[in-house]
Amino acid sequence: MTNTAHPFDALMDITVRPQAVFVRGEGSFLWDASGNRYLDFVQGWAVNCLGHSPAAVADALCTQARLLLTPSPAFYNAPALKLAKALVDKSCFDQVFFANSGAEANEGAIKLARKFGALHKNGAYEIITFEGGFHGRTLATMSASGKKAFEPLFEPKVPGFRKARLNDLDSVQRLISANTVAVMLEPIQGEAGVWPATDQFLRELRALTSKHGLLLIVDEIQTGMGRTGKLFGYEHAAITPDIMTLGKGIGGGVPLAALLATERASCFEHGDQGGTFNGNPLMCAAGLAVLEVVGEQAFLKSVTDTGLFLEGELQKLSARHGLGEVRGRGLLLALDLKLPIGASIIAQAFEAGMLLNSPQPNALRFMPALNVTREEIAELIDGLDAILTKVGAARRVA
Ligand SMILES: Cc1ncc(COP(=O)(O)O)c(C=O)c1O
């Protein structure tokens, strides 16, 4: 890994990037300009739910591109209408607003909650979010996030977010006041290192928010679209949230996100919300192609089965190398390394042709394509086994 500028790099230096330039992707594999192949368990940060450049998405994009790109968000278009209807048919929500990124969908959720507070709760505007939570990189979504590293940045923050502790109902209860309008959380905190909200906590949170007339907002940008083995993560807890945001997997690799709300919570008036590219037919055509595959029960069952297989293989790996627990659900899993060696492991994995992510120094996160095969998982486990053996030997020598 290096952050030396690329010879022709005019991109802002916003993160450490390896020198490789990626030119092609297919399923679970990526190729760089030198022809090196990489087994990808990052998939654009849990974006490519059907793998790299799936034929279904590519075909939908080509067909739609020849028909109509953008008529204007002030006009209806067929793919947006069809995708919105398909999403409400498969969820507990009634209305959809399409966005271009997860952060934008979450901004919409925050605005919708504040509008609800203005209309129905005497101007209440505070949203209770969670320590460790991640909701995006706009000013409001950074303010809503509970990521420690964000705290000193871009002051002053947007006011109105109070942080509770995940799986601690009392910590939520203590923050509820006349100013509170909503509670917002990820069913599994992804960026924090894959920390699940328990099903019981989600049920208790639903009961508590209902009792106080508060909106429950689930940020399913990482957990939605089949990632956990159900189409939406909230289904595991059998609850009915008021608002949900989707991103990442919904476009299967293209920038599409969505804000969904129940009839009661869906209170935007004309002029409150919009955006030039929102709900454009090109992205919605991709979303329809994705949902057609991911929305099938047989596909979701295969995600559950493959997730259990990966979980089992990671547990065996952990036992062999004296590592910690495996957390998560479906194909959003983390392996606790017990030591802050995540960055070194992903650098070695890259050199060995495997793309992995370490959201926290002591954890590896696995978010492969939802149609990843057992052979690809076995290849990953073998590669990781070799790296961990090397790391263990080096530690013994040191
Ligand atoms: C739970 C969650 N919410 C919001 C976001 C922000 O999405 P985007 O990067 O598309 O703005 C992310 C991205 O990682 C996420 O994981």
Ligand 1 nearest-atom number relative to CA 136: 6
Centre of ligand 1 from the C-alpha of residue 222, in Å: 7
Centre of ligand 1 from the C-alpha of residue 185, in Å: 12
Atom 4 of ligand 1, nearest CA residue:
135
Q: Are 57 and 252 in contact (CB under 8 A)?
A: yes
Centre of ligand 1 from the C-alpha of residue 103, in Å: 6
Q: Residue 321: enclosing H or E segment and its boundaries?
A: helix 297-321
Q: From first to last of the 398 residues of the chain, give the pLDDT tens digit.
A: 444 557 778 999 998 889 999 999 999 999 999 999 999 999 999 999 999 999 999 999 999 999 999 999 999 999 999 999 999 999 999 999 999 999 999 999 999 999 999 999 999 999 999 999 999 999 999 999 999 999 999 999 999 999 999 999 999 999 999 999 999 999 999 999 999 999 999 999 999 999 999 999 999 999 999 999 999 999 999 999 999 999 999 999 999 999 999 999 999 999 999 999 999 999 999 999 999 999 999 999 999 999 999 999 999 999 999 999 999 999 999 999 999 999 999 999 999 999 999 999 999 999 999 999 999 999 999 999 999 999 887 777 76
CB atoms closer than 10 angstroms to residue 7: 6
CA dihedral sign of residues 232, 236, 242, 243 = negative
pLDDT at 215: 98
Centre of ligand 1 from the C-alpha of residue 56, in Å: 24
Atom 10 of ligand 1, nearest CA residue:
102
Determine the residue of 135, 142, 166, 332 to mutate for testing ligand 1's pocket, defined as the one with the most ligand atoms within 8 A of the Cβ atom: 135
- For residue 263, how many C-alpha atoms fall within 13 Å in the half-sphere facing its CB? 0
Nearest to 103 by CA among 257, 241, 309: 257
Atom 16 of ligand 1, nearest CA residue:
222
Determine the residue of 217, 223, 248 to mutate for testing ligand 1's pocket, defined as the one with the most ligand atoms within 8 A of the Cβ atom: 248
- Pairwise CA distance, residues 391 & 383, whole Å: 13
The secondary structure of 180-243 as a DSSP string is: EEEEEE-SEETTTT-EEPPHHHHHHHHHHHHHTT-EEEEE-TTTTTTTTSSSSGGGGGT---SE
pLDDT at 121: 98
Ligand 1 nearest-atom number relative to CA 255: 10
Nearest to 314 by CA among 306, 304, 305, 325: 325
Ligand 1 nearest-atom number relative to CA 189: 1
Nearest to 16 by CA among 346, 388, 379: 346
Name all residues whose Cβ lies below 6 A of ligand 1. 45, 101-103, 106, 134-136, 186, 190-191, 219, 221-222, 247
Coil vs helix vs strand at 56: helix
Phi, psi of 142 (to 5 degrees): -65, -35
- Pairwise CA distance, residues 321 & 28, whole Å: 26
Ligand 1 nearest-atom number relative to CA 257: 10
Given the DSSP bridges, would you call strands 257-261 and 326-329 parallel, antiparallel or unpaired? Answer: unpaired
pLDDT at 274: 96
Ligand 1 nearest-atom number relative to CA 247: 10
pLDDT at 334: 98
Centre of ligand 1 from the C-alpha of residue 134, in Å: 7
Centre of ligand 1 from the C-alpha of residue 174, in Å: 27
Atom 3 of ligand 1, nearest CA residue:
135
Ligand 1 nearest-atom number relative to CA 220: 1
Q: Are 125 and 160 in contact (CB under 8 A)?
A: yes
Phi, psi of 37 (to 5 degrees): -105, 140
Atom 8 of ligand 1, nearest CA residue:
102
Q: Are 353 and 371 in contact (CB under 8 A)?
A: no
Nearest to 249 by CA among 51, 11, 36, 94: 51
List the strands of the sheet with 326-329, edge to edge.
326-329, 332-336, 363-366, 357-360
pLDDT at 4: 55
Task: Give counts: helices (H), strands (E), the chain.
Answer: 11, 17
Ligand 1 nearest-atom number relative to CA 104: 11
Q: Are 88 and 260 in contact (CB under 8 A)?
A: yes
Centre of ligand 1 from the C-alpha of residue 252, in Å: 15
